[in-house]
A = this chain, B = another copy of it.
Amino acid sequence: MPGPYKWRHRFQGYVCRWTLPREAILDLLSRTSKHMSAKEIYATLYSMYPGIGLTTVYRTLDLLVRSGMINRLSFGDGQNRYEFRSGKKEEHHQHLICTKCGRIIDCSDLFTEQLELLKKAEDVLTKKYNFTVLDHNIEFYGLCEKCKKS
């Protein structure tokens, strides 16, 4: 369990009480580069904090999503996954998903291309569909290094 209330200040106005489970879940997600499911988060925290309940994990994840601290991802494997959301607006990244082993790789190398797509998209979508873009998501499916070999 990390320093007592590292993340508390980011919740002013969102939540009444800052608690150990909330701190622990947000802290875990801020440290890992994995895209963890609720069960995985629960299992990880359980080892250092056996009192925690799976229900609380689900509830807290929901809270964190709603308050914009984390992203909920669904890759279609039957469970949602979560990732920490950096403060910076520009730090959008893509996910590479191996269709063979399910590995997920983060990729932030297409910054310029993405921005251009986005700029154009906002323009087109507003004019044609009167749709206001608030967020976007780009995924690439294919084969990772390991799976190509085998």
If the complex has contacts A110-B121, A113-B121, A120-B110, are A135 and B141 also in contact, measured as CB distance less than 8 A?
Answer: yes
Contact A120 B129 (CB under 8 A): no
The 8 closest A-B pairs by CB, nearest first: A74-B76, A130-B145, A134-B142, A135-B141, A133-B142, A137-B139, A113-B117, A132-B143
Assess the A99–B141 pair: CB atoms within 8 A. Answer: no
Chain copies in complex = 2
- Interface size class, chain A: 35 or more
Q: CB within 8 Å of B: which of A71-89?
A: 72-76, 80
Chain B residues in 8 Å Cβ range of A135: 140-142
A131 at the interface (CB under 8 A from B): yes
